[in-house]
Chains A and B, each alone.
Chain A
C-alpha cells in the first residue's frame, strides 16, 4: 500500500555483529523509508560473533542506495551488499501440505518427482512435500499444486551466496 512504484525486488546480504538489538536496528532502516521486507533469513556464521541476514525487499529503487548506506552506518553492520543483478547462487526451501486423497496421489507424486522434491510426510488425506531451489521454481511448483488444494505452506525465505571470488 505505502510502497512506491515501481517496486523492484532486491536481495541484500548483511553481515552483522551478533549483538542484541541488531535485527531491530536493521528493520527500522527499511521501515522508515517505506520499504517492505518480503523475507528475512538470519543465520549464524562460522565465527559465532557474526550473523548473516539475507533480506529480500521491494520498494522505490532510488531509495535502496540510501538504505544500503544507512545499514552500513549502523555500528553493528560490518557489510551490506545489494546482490541484485550479481552472479549469485540463490536458494529457498518450502514445505507444502497438499490435499491428497488416494485418487490424486499419482499425479501429485509425479509433480514432486519431476521437480526433485521429497515427500516428508505421508497421510491418508494429505502429503507434506519439501521443495528446494530457486524461488521461481518454488513459485512454479506451487502453481501446479494449487488445483489439488494447498492446505498450508511455509517458505524459508531466500538465501544467497556470491559466485567465485566475490564476497557475499
Chain B
C-alpha cells in the first residue's frame, strides 16, 4: 500500500504519541470530529469522554499536577472551547501544564460568525501561557513541538491551539519536528553565582530564619534540597496552600501552612522571623495580608523561575532567578549552620501554645472527619480539594508528606475543581489512593463527572464535607457582615448518597462521630470503582486561625472574635 499523506488531525495525534501522552480528556463536536476520528486509530491514547468541558480541563490539570506530565484536553469550537476557560485560568494561576486543543470553524469562515465560531484565541489571551491559531496544516508539527515545550518548561502553564477544521482535515506533508527555535523564550536554570553568594551572606547573618515554600518547590521537586537546607541551617519551614507536600509536613522543622488560614504557629514564625526565604512562592495576597505589615524588618530573599515575580508584590533584598530545586542545591554548599537554636525553640513553643483545635462537642465536625482521615491514610494518599471551608480544614489537618500529593485550586480558587482533578490524578497515578475532599456547593458544579469516574472505574474516594451552606462565604457574612446571610443557604441539596447510586457509585453517609472511622475504613477498602461519602457536618462552623483579607498578621483571629469585625479591605 502507498504511504498516504496524513491529515493534520492524524499528525496532531502522532505528535501526542511522540510526547508520551496517555490520556486525552475530551468532548466532541462538529469542528473537532477530524481529531476524534484520528483517535480511533491511536489505541496508545485513551480518550476519557467527560460530561462537561470544564471537567476535562480540571481532569487534565489534576493529571498534570499528580504526574508532572502535561494534561491534554480536546474540545470542539464555540461553546465547547469557551467551557474550558475556567479550567485554563485555574491551570494558569497555579502553573499547571495543559495542552488545550480546540476545534474551530474552517479558516475561510473565520470572523464571519460561522456556526459555533468563537474567537477562542482572543477570549483566552489573558489566561494562557501561550496560544496558536493554526492557519497552515504544515505548521502543525512545529507548533505541536513548541506547545509541549512551552507548557512544560520554565514556569509551566496552559497552551491553547485553535484548530480550524480545514487545517485538521487537510493533508500535512511536513515532517515531524524535534527541536524548537523560540528566540523570545528563555528557561532560567541555576541562579547567578554572585546572587547566590549575596543570599548566602544575608542568610549567615540571620538568627531567626524562615523558609517559605510554594508551588515552584513542588514543580521542581525541591523538597529534598529544601529539607537539607532547613536541617543544615536549623531553620523552620512553612508552606503555602500549593506548596503542601513539597517537603513532608511531618518533618520536625515544618510548621505547616502560613497565610490567611495558616496555623497560628506558622504565622507567629512569619511575624517574628528576621529573614524569610521564598522558594517558588509568589507572595500572594492570601499570604501577605497587609503589605506594609508583612515582615517589615525581615530580610527577604526570593527564588523564582519567573523574573516577573520579583518586585511584583514585594521588593526582595536578593532575587535569585532560577529553578527552585537547582537554586537551593546551588545554595547548600554556600551556607553553614546558624545560631538559631533559640528561634527553633520559640517556634516549638508556639506550636504547643497554639495548636490547631476544634470543639469535640456539639455534633459532627468537619475537622474531626479530616483529622480521622489523616490518621487513617497516614500521609499515603493523594488529596485533592475543592474550594471553601473544607479546603482550608483539609489543608490544616491533612499532613501532606510526599511531593504532588496535594492538589488544590489556589490562585483561581475554582469551585468545581476538586472532584474532576481527582479523576485525572487517579488515572495518572493508579496505584496511590486518591481522596477528593469537596464541599456540598462546589461538588454540584462538576458532579456530572460521576459518570466519567464510574466509566473509568477509578477507585477514588469522594468525601463531601456537607454543611448545607456555601460555608466560606457564610463565614465571611457571619464575621464581617453582621450575620446577614445572603445567597449561601444550600437548601435544595440533593440526597448525595442516592445521587451517587444513580450513577452506580457506591456511597455512604456519615452523621455521627461514631460512624467516622468505620465508614472511612470501608471506603478505603472499596476498590471496585469510585465511591462517595456524604459527611453531614455541623452547619455553622468557622475556619480559624484567620487573618482577615488585607489585615496584618497581628490581627490574626485564633478563635471566634467576641467583638464585631470591620469589613475586610483586602482582595475579595
| A21–B184 touching, CB < 8 Å | no
Please encode chain B, from 384 to 418, with 1 for each CB lying within 8 Å of some chain A CB and 0 for all others. Answer: 00000000000000000000000000000000000
Contacts of A25 in B (CB 8 A): 125
| A72–B307 touching, CB < 8 Å | yes
Within 8 A of B (CB), among A27-53: 28, 32, 50
User: B126 interface residue, CB < 8 Å from A?
Assistant: yes
A29 to chain B, nearest CB (A): 10
Contacts of A154 in B (CB 8 A): none
A71 to chain B, nearest CB (A): 9
User: A69 interface residue, CB < 8 Å from B?
Assistant: yes
Within 8 A of A (CB), among B112-165: 121-122, 125-126, 129-131, 133, 135, 150
Within 8 A of A (CB), among B220-250: none
User: A20 interface residue, CB < 8 Å from B?
Assistant: yes
Cα–Cα, bound, A25→B133 (Å)? 13
Q: For chain A, which range describes its interface: under 10, 10 to 19, 20 to 34, or 35 or more residues?
A: 20 to 34
Please encode chain A, from 9 to 29, with 1 for each CB lying within 8 Å of some chain B CB and 0 for all others. Answer: 000000011001100110010
Contacts of A66 in B (CB 8 A): 308, 311-312
User: A153 interface residue, CB < 8 Å from B?
Assistant: no
Q: Which of the candidate stretches A75-83, A120-128, A131-139, A160-168 sits at the interface with the other chain?
A: A75-83
User: A65 interface residue, CB < 8 Å from B?
Assistant: yes
Residues of B within 8 A of A (CB-CB), count: 20
* Given known A-B contacts A72-B307, A72-B308, A73-B308, A17 and B126 have beta carbons under 8 A apart: no
Cα–Cα, bound, A15→B292 (Å)? 36
Cα–Cα, bound, A66→B135 (Å)? 32
Contacts of B126 in A (CB 8 A): 28, 32
| B125–A75 touching, CB < 8 Å | no
Contacts of A76 in B (CB 8 A): 184
Contacts of B311 in A (CB 8 A): 65-66, 69
Cα–Cα, bound, A4→B148 (Å)? 39
* Given known A-B contacts A17-B183, A24-B125, A28-B125, A73 and B130 have beta carbons under 8 A apart: no
Q: Which residue in B183, B310, B312 is a CB contact (below 8 Å) of A78?
A: B183
A165 to chain B, nearest CB (A): 21
Cα–Cα, bound, A32→B306 (Å)? 19
Contacts of A72 in B (CB 8 A): 307-308
A126 to chain B, nearest CB (A): 39
A9 to chain B, nearest CB (A): 22
| A17–B184 touching, CB < 8 Å | yes
Q: Which residue in B121, B150, B182 is a CB contact (below 8 Å) of A21?
A: B121
Q: Which residue of B lies closest to A76 (CB)?
A: B184
Q: Which residue of B lies closest to A66 (CB)?
A: B312
Most chain A CB inside 10 Å of its own CB: which residue of B121, B130, B133: B130
Most chain B CB inside 10 Å of its own CB: which residue of A17, A28, A70: A17
| A16–B125 touching, CB < 8 Å | no
Please encode chain B, from 286 to 316, with 1 for each CB lying within 8 Å of some chain A CB and 0 for all others. Answer: 0000000000000000000011101110000
User: A74 interface residue, CB < 8 Å from B?
Assistant: yes
B446 to chain A, nearest CB (A): 29
Cα–Cα, bound, A50→B184 (Å)? 10
A86 to chain B, nearest CB (A): 20
* Given known A-B contacts A16-B184, A17-B184, A76-B184, A24 and B122 have beta carbons under 8 A apart: yes
| B308–A21 touching, CB < 8 Å | no
Cα–Cα, bound, A75→B131 (Å)? 10
Q: Which residue of B lies closest to A73 (CB)?
A: B308
The A/B interface has a contact count, at CB < 8 Å, of: 43
A127 to chain B, nearest CB (A): 41
Q: Which residue of A lies closest to B306 (CB)?
A: A73
Cα–Cα, bound, A24→B122 (Å)? 9
Contacts of B184 in A (CB 8 A): 16-17, 74-78
Please encode chain B, from 481 to 515, with 1 for each CB lying within 8 Å of some chain A CB and 0 for all others. Answer: 00000000000000000000000000000000000
Please encode chain B, from 442 to 485, with 1 for each CB lying within 8 Å of some chain A CB and 0 for all others. Answer: 00000000000000000000000000000000000000000000
| A75–B133 touching, CB < 8 Å | no
| A69–B308 touching, CB < 8 Å | yes
B92 to chain A, nearest CB (A): 12
| B308–A75 touching, CB < 8 Å | no
B149 to chain A, nearest CB (A): 10
Cα–Cα, bound, A66→B125 (Å)? 18
Contacts of A17 in B (CB 8 A): 182-184
* Given known A-B contacts A21-B133, A74-B184, A76-B184, A69 and B307 have beta carbons under 8 A apart: yes
Cα–Cα, bound, A121→B308 (Å)? 49
Cα–Cα, bound, A115→B183 (Å)? 42
Within 8 A of A (CB), among B146-201: 150, 182-185
B44 to chain A, nearest CB (A): 29
B342 to chain A, nearest CB (A): 39
B93 to chain A, nearest CB (A): 15
Contacts of B129 in A (CB 8 A): 75
Contacts of B131 in A (CB 8 A): 21
Contacts of B133 in A (CB 8 A): 20-21
| A75–B307 touching, CB < 8 Å | no
Contacts of B310 in A (CB 8 A): 69
| B312–A75 touching, CB < 8 Å | no
| A75–B150 touching, CB < 8 Å | yes
A35 to chain B, nearest CB (A): 15
| B185–A75 touching, CB < 8 Å | yes
Contacts of A16 in B (CB 8 A): 184
Cα–Cα, bound, A77→B182 (Å)? 10
Contacts of A50 in B (CB 8 A): 183
Contacts of B182 in A (CB 8 A): 17, 75
Minimum-distance CB pairs A-B, first 7:
A69-B308, A78-B184, A75-B130, A73-B308, A77-B184, A75-B185, A78-B183
The contact sample of 23 A-B pairs, CB cut-off 8 A, is A16-B184, A17-B182, A17-B183, A20-B133, A21-B121, A21-B125, A21-B133, A25-B125, A28-B125, A50-B183, A66-B308, A66-B311, A73-B306, A73-B307, A73-B308, A74-B184, A75-B129, A75-B150, A75-B184, A75-B185, A76-B184, A77-B184, A78-B184
**Sample of 14 more A-B contacts, CB < 8 Å, known A20-B135, A21-B133, A69-B312:** A17-B182, A20-B133, A21-B131, A24-B125, A28-B125, A32-B126, A66-B308, A69-B308, A69-B310, A72-B307, A73-B308, A75-B130, A75-B150, A76-B184
